[in-house]
Structures are given as C-alpha cells and as structure tokens.
Structure 1
Amino acid sequence: MSTTLWIIVAGAIATYLTRIGGHLVISRFESIHPRVEAGLNAVPAAVLTTLVAPARRSAR
C-alpha cells in the first residue's frame, strides 16, 4: 500500500478512537458546563483532529 493510503487509514482510525474516547469521558459526567458544551458544538471533530494530529507528530 502507498504511504498516502496508510496516512488516510491511520487518520480514520485516530478519528474514530478519538470520538469514542471523547464519548466515554463526557458520559462519565452528569452534566456539562454550558461553556464546554458550546465549545464542543462550535468546533467539528475533523477540525479538532487536524489541530491535534500535527502537534502530536511534531512533539516526537
């Protein structure tokens, strides 16, 4: 497989695991602060992934 395809697959897996992890963390709280909820609703998951992935990669 080409490098590009591996990057796409890895990104898809990372996005899926991030969404599941976020759901598990948020579900442990009885209520979410309104400011946190507004922030989560304002930023799509894809935008968060594109911000976090390069920062994590450059930290290595």
Structure 2
Amino acid sequence: MTLQAVRLILFCVLLPTISVAFGSEKQKLQSSYELMSPENQAMQDDPSLNPATFWVGDG
C-alpha cells in the first residue's frame, strides 16, 4: 500500500470523527406536536377524541 493510499484511508476515517467532535453543536429535538395546529393539539390532548385511544382500547 502506498503512502498516498494510507493518507486517503486515514482522511476518510478521521474526518467524520473530527467534524462531529468539533464542528457541530447539539440540535434541539422538536416534537411534531409543536408543529400541529391548535385544533389538532386539542384533539391529541382529549382522550375521548384522540384516534390513538381507539387502538389502545382494541388491544
């Protein structure tokens, strides 16, 4: 293996590690609930209107 090939392999392996460690800040996770309209949020909050409640009831 040539020196140039070794350098290329090291570059490809180490670059993602370095960029993650130094280049990125932690992103705040966002719930899709925050993106819903107030009407949809009200439906999700009310157990009698929430569609997921029907699936839970069915088992």
Provide TM-score, normalisation by structure 1. Answer: 0.30
Structure index of larger Rg = 2
Indicate the structure with greater helix content: 1
Provide TM-score, normalisation by structure 2. Answer: 0.30
Bigger RCO of structures 1 and 2 (CA < 8 A, at least 6 apart)? 1
